[in-house]
Amino acid sequence: KQETGAAGLIYIKLNEDDGVKCSVGKFLKDETVEAMVERAEADMGDLVLILAGPSTEVYNQMGQLRLMMGKEHNLINEDAYNFLWVTDFPLVEYSKEDHRYHALHHPFTAPKPEDLDKLDENPEDVRSRAYDLVLNGYEIGGGSIRIHDRELQTRMFELLGIDEDEAQKRFGFLLDAFKYGAPPHGGIALGVDRIVMILTGGTSLRDVIAFPKNQKAQSLMDNSPDFVDEDQLDDLHIELKKYAQKEQQEQESQ
């Protein structure tokens, strides 16, 4: 419980000596336990573990439990490289705090074409064209196919509570570009630091990251952040507007 944050765990053990034993069997009918065993497709010698709660929490908790048991019983082959593509992510999720939908990936991720008819009435059932690449349980890459149709992008903004005026103000350049026929496009970004961590047998990104930071967000490799002089800013054509405006206000007040 402490390691996973789960409220409680139900187990059902099946073996030849004791038959079927359920941790909450005294509260359930035999038929209910049998139905649970059947649903899990469990046979003699199996152990069924059950958690209840919101799906996002239970998925994470069961994943942690699976890894804990795998390590405890030496079931993980540390020399193997197992790749997995994760697809069919939900397009949006509803926020009870904000009382509106949020994009699970980002507002420009395309929905699956076969789910478009659900976008207005059942948006939570719409799957996105997003994908993650996982290696040995670590996400090493992620990406998506983007929306390239102005009408569909407008519908997506409306679903997320972004009205037409706000959409034009924030993303007008994109919506205007779509009018001229943007091609289908997408991509993926790989996390090189995580790949290096796995290849070197590490367990922390800080062991392999190129420019690690301490708890004060300082880089001990190059002593940044640090002060810069005007010549350096001029070379990079950078102007600090905040200080320039403050200086101008002080001069005007004098």
d(CA 109, CA 131): 10
Q: In what order do the strands lie in the sheet with 186-190?
A: 83-86, 130-135, 138-145, 186-190
Question: pTM value?
Answer: 0.71
Burial (CB < 10 A; 0-12, 13-18, 19+), residue 110, is buried
Of the ranges 47-56, 126-135, 166-175, 233-242, the best mean pLDDT one: 126-135
132-153 pLDDT per residue, tens: 999 988 999 999 999 999 999 9
Check whether 250 has a pLDDT greater than 80: no
Among candidates 1, 50, 48, which has minimal Cα distance to 21?
Answer: 48
Question: CA geometry: angle at 104 spanning 101 and 110, to 5°?
Answer: 100
Domains of the chain and CATH, by start: 1-76 (3.30.1360.30), 81-248 (3.30.930.10)
Average pLDDT over residues 240-254: 64
| Angle (deg, nearest 10), helices 164-178 and 150-159 | 160
Local structure of 34: helix, strand or coil: helix
**8-state DSSP, 142:** E
Predicted pLDDT at 251: 65
The two three-digit tokens of residue 210, written as one number:
């190129």
180-197 pLDDT per residue, tens: 888 999 999 999 999 999
Check whether 177 has a pLDDT greater than 80: yes
Predicted pLDDT at 247: 60
Share the mean pLDDT of the chain.
Answer: 89
Check whether 1 has a pLDDT greater than 60: no
The two three-digit tokens of residue 147, written as one number:
């929306």
